[in-house]
Chain A
């Protein structure tokens, strides 16, 4: 499925027409907008103690205060900013790296492919989290370290996925035709091959954002992030540190936890629709529902509908 088809008018109509996607887009949009406008809408400085310790939600502090007396709402907003830009950067970088490796391997084949596949496989078998912990422990904490560490450990699966897709596309006759006409290699890869991988790349990218948010939060929760920076993960870390659970200060960990869960949830809803564009069977099922036939296509029994 192609890029233009993935993002074309027809696809947009299809995407916006389905309820789950609309819900996903609304949630994600609200989260992103609230975080982006943190400087304007946040009621307090998130790093200063502006209230009592572990105050439950009230009108002055809508989401309560932390064990250090900071406003949870302000922390949630500023934290969203820091969390989301890092997550999207990781997703962009892993997708790009995976694409470069995959397309190079698929196009040149031979020893180039062998070598790149070997490297990819090595990165695939390295156990992710332990490596991430080790790397994060040795490097100076901060968002750039986070991006670097998660990019290095997160690209390999995508490279495999894209390589297999590119290899099958490469066998299509229009690639041979472009070669025969005398197009240069990089033009063939960039103009003829890559745009045809649209839906796979889009689905992988959305998945990578989910991966990046959860992986980042896990690392920070373990204390491997920059403690001075406010992110959803470090909010969880401090909540844990100040024994919020024992003290019953649920608002200090439920708010960042829900933020992470909601972001992942909304992206998963969006991902479903991207999947539908690339998968003809899902699409056919949707068309059948539209036509008023409620029967899973898996039964392999053509429906009869006489009033149409």
Chain B
């Protein structure tokens, strides 16, 4: 039976029912995965990769419709058999791990119960126990009695993987399993998955937008674009040479750190720092009697940022970096310590008066949520200009047009009447930048401004931020979990860990020669390295 592929897809087409017709999302895609093979399916958002992942087990929700082709899992036809036969194949022959582990687990049931439930679906004589399953994914079996919310994001994803493997399927589908997790946790999870794969011999289909990650873990890579697979190749081959121009573009688009140019220390500025904090602390759930806090998000942080400087604040999720950013912009108030932005304490949002001077302005992470879906781009920018402190308010339209031009959205007139859903993610983030610039701030606080964007446009947005700094002299506090992009854009890097800044220095110096153990760990976990390795192994062909 070794010849039967774990997954065989022939000419699969999938569409979504629309008002007038079925809108195609996947167009005659074919590929197969050999038993025990680790296959990676890469592509940008909207290319149809997740649609394929969910179609395989016929879990794609309405209005999704499979419009043609064949899917065979270990020889079982998924499209012709009746519903009960397909249901019997789920979990036992193939299973899927989704991105959001919090919604995959039942919040009111203990882990043990949920693992047992997965095991009970099986009919085989060899029965594992929930404890064995937990041990399999390197979690202490003592945690069996825990509820999902008591586990960390990484542990929850491990539990979901354990459930997926409970009945020893021939294939598991991982749909962006670590996108919501930071790199260190991601690395640990894939070490576990690879070890289990060697041991149990299942095949893996990993759906991701992260090509460097696939280089590290996959045997074969397929690249998708606009519902089609444009290229399939073994990893070793793909690393050397990419057949399709899109694969090449995808690979070279991700920002890399250029270590060839020596780090340039910006001349020490004589001016006052644009941001200065002293012993800044933010604690949550402080008991007024004992003075103990349930959580110290920011712990005694003293930090300076010179005018026109880009500093990256790097840390894992939960390290307190976002809280720090919110304190700087006045969206959150610190528990103790001082913040001075351009020599003034940030005014809390609730006490702000219109037109009060504000030196720091925020750029948000969620490009989908940070613009009001009801209002036009023009409305967003006009309001920002009108509410901006000082300045001439007679020519609002002119100022809005100037802002759009600055962020590269031209011709400006064509953007004014559009609503956010008519723009791409990158364009939305440009609007977010334009809005932040409306008040001519001295400091931009950019909280993960590119993490929700496709790889191919991340570098454009980072370049835009750097250009705005060069042209307008605005300082930038770039908050990110991504060391590579930090090294790409920042002059200095500050590494935050558990609410404290553990290391701070010139960007390339920190990356090339990290001092703190946590920084080293963070850098080592980046798939594909910081830039040196892939850029030398992959000389960009002259076009």
Binding site for B on A (CB under 8 A): 2-5, 14, 172-174, 176-184, 191-192, 195-196, 281, 284-285, 287-288, 290-291, 293, 297, 299-306, 308
Contacts of A179 in B (CB 8 A): 331, 349, 352
The verdict on B214 contacting chain A, using a C-beta distance below 8 Å, is no
The list of the 5 closest CB pairs from A to B, nearest first, reads A291-B17, A297-B62, A182-B387, A284-B62, A173-B370
- Listed by A's residue number, 27 A-B pairs whose Cβ atoms lie within 8 Å are A4-B374, A172-B369, A173-B366, A173-B369, A173-B370, A174-B370, A177-B362, A177-B435, A178-B372, A179-B331, A181-B383, A181-B435, A182-B387, A182-B389, A184-B354, A196-B373, A281-B62, A284-B17, A287-B19, A288-B62, A293-B17, A293-B65, A297-B61, A299-B83, A301-B86, A305-B22, A305-B67
Q: With both chains docked as a complex, state the minimum distance between the C-beta of A256 and any C-beta of chain B, in angstroms.
A: 41
Name A306's contact: one of B62, B63, B67, B83 (CB within 8 Å). B67
Contacts of A281 in B (CB 8 A): 62
Name B364's contact: one of A177, A290, A297, A300 (CB within 8 Å). A177
B387 engages A181 (CB within 8 Å): yes
Q: With both chains docked as a complex, state the minimum distance between the C-beta of B163 and any C-beta of chain A, in angstroms.
A: 17
B58 engages A301 (CB within 8 Å): yes
Task: Give the nearest-CB partner of B86 in chain A.
Answer: A301
Name A287's contact: one of B63, B349, B369, B387 (CB within 8 Å). B63
With A301-B58, A302-B58 given, is the CB distance from A291 to B63 under 8 Å? Answer: yes
With A281-B62, A308-B22 given, is the CB distance from A176 to B331 under 8 Å? Answer: yes
Q: How far is the CA of A195 from the CA of B438 in the complex (A)?
A: 24
Of the candidates A2, A285, A287, the one having the most CB atoms from chain B within 10 angstroms of its own CB is A287
Q: How far is the CA of A287 from the CA of B63 in the complex (A)?
A: 6
Contacts of A14 in B (CB 8 A): 19
Beyond known contacts A181-B388, A301-B58: 5 more, CB 8 A cutoff: A173-B365, A174-B369, A176-B331, A181-B387, A182-B358
The verdict on B212 contacting chain A, using a C-beta distance below 8 Å, is no
Contacts of B436 in A (CB 8 A): 180
List B residues 50-100 near A (Cβ within 8 Å): 54-55, 58-68, 79, 83, 86-87
Q: How far is the CA of A227 from the CA of B405 in the complex (A)?
A: 70
Task: Give the nearest-CB partner of B329 in chain A.
Answer: A180
B383 engages A308 (CB within 8 Å): no
The verdict on B233 contacting chain A, using a C-beta distance below 8 Å, is no
Contact size class for B?
35 or more
With A183-B383, A302-B64, A303-B65 given, is the CB distance from A177 to B439 under 8 Å? Answer: no
Q: How far is the CA of A300 from the CA of B90 in the complex (A)?
A: 12
Contacts of B54 in A (CB 8 A): 302
B370 engages A177 (CB within 8 Å): yes
Q: With both chains docked as a complex, state the minimum distance between the C-beta of B366 and any C-beta of chain A, in angstroms.
A: 5
With A180-B361, A182-B352, A285-B62 given, is the CB distance from A304 to B373 under 8 Å? Answer: no
Contacts of A302 in B (CB 8 A): 54-55, 58-61, 64-66
A177 engages B371 (CB within 8 Å): yes
Task: Give the nearest-CB partner of B51 in chain A.
Answer: A302
Of the candidates A3, A180, A308, the one having the most CB atoms from chain B within 10 angstroms of its own CB is A180
Task: Give the nearest-CB partner of B20 in chain A.
Answer: A290
A2 engages B373 (CB within 8 Å): yes
Contacts of B355 in A (CB 8 A): 182
Q: How far is the CA of A196 from the CA of B383 in the complex (A)?
A: 18
Task: Give the nearest-CB partner of A176 in chain B.
Answer: B331
Contacts of B67 in A (CB 8 A): 304-306, 308
Q: How far is the CA of A3 from the CA of B352 in the complex (A)?
A: 29
The verdict on B148 contacting chain A, using a C-beta distance below 8 Å, is no
Q: How far is the CA of A180 from the CA of B352 in the complex (A)?
A: 10
The verdict on B15 contacting chain A, using a C-beta distance below 8 Å, is yes
A174 engages B371 (CB within 8 Å): yes
Q: How far is the CA of A5 from the CA of B420 in the complex (A)?
A: 14
Task: Annotate B421-442 by CB proximity to A: 1 below 8 A, 0 otherwise.
Answer: 0000000000010011011000
The verdict on B521 contacting chain A, using a C-beta distance below 8 Å, is no
With A181-B438, A302-B59, A306-B67 given, is the CB distance from A287 to B371 under 8 Å? Answer: no
Q: With both chains docked as a complex, state the minimum distance between the C-beta of A196 and any C-beta of chain B, in angstroms.
A: 6
Contacts of A288 in B (CB 8 A): 17, 62-63, 65
Contacts of B354 in A (CB 8 A): 182, 184
Q: With both chains docked as a complex, state the minimum distance between the C-beta of B358 and any C-beta of chain A, in angstroms.
A: 7
Task: Give the nearest-CB partner of B364 in chain A.
Answer: A173
Contacts of A172 in B (CB 8 A): 369
Q: With both chains docked as a complex, state the minimum distance between the C-beta of B350 and any C-beta of chain A, in angstroms.
A: 8
The verdict on B409 contacting chain A, using a C-beta distance below 8 Å, is no
Q: How far is the CA of A281 from the CA of B87 in the complex (A)?
A: 22
The verdict on B384 contacting chain A, using a C-beta distance below 8 Å, is yes
Task: Give the nearest-CB partner of B367 in chain A.
Answer: A173
With A177-B435, A182-B354, A293-B17 given, is the CB distance from A305 to B65 under 8 Å? Answer: yes
The verdict on B120 contacting chain A, using a C-beta distance below 8 Å, is no
Q: With both chains docked as a complex, state the minimum distance between the C-beta of B421 and any C-beta of chain A, in angstroms.
A: 10
Task: Annotate B16-32 by CB proximity to A: 1 below 8 A, 0 otherwise.
Answer: 11110110000000000
The verdict on B356 contacting chain A, using a C-beta distance below 8 Å, is yes
Contacts of A4 in B (CB 8 A): 374
Q: With both chains docked as a complex, state the minimum distance between the C-beta of A109 and any C-beta of chain B, in angstroms.
A: 10
Q: How far is the CA of A177 from the CA of B447 in the complex (A)?
A: 12
A305 engages B373 (CB within 8 Å): no
B387 engages A183 (CB within 8 Å): yes
Contacts of B66 in A (CB 8 A): 302-305
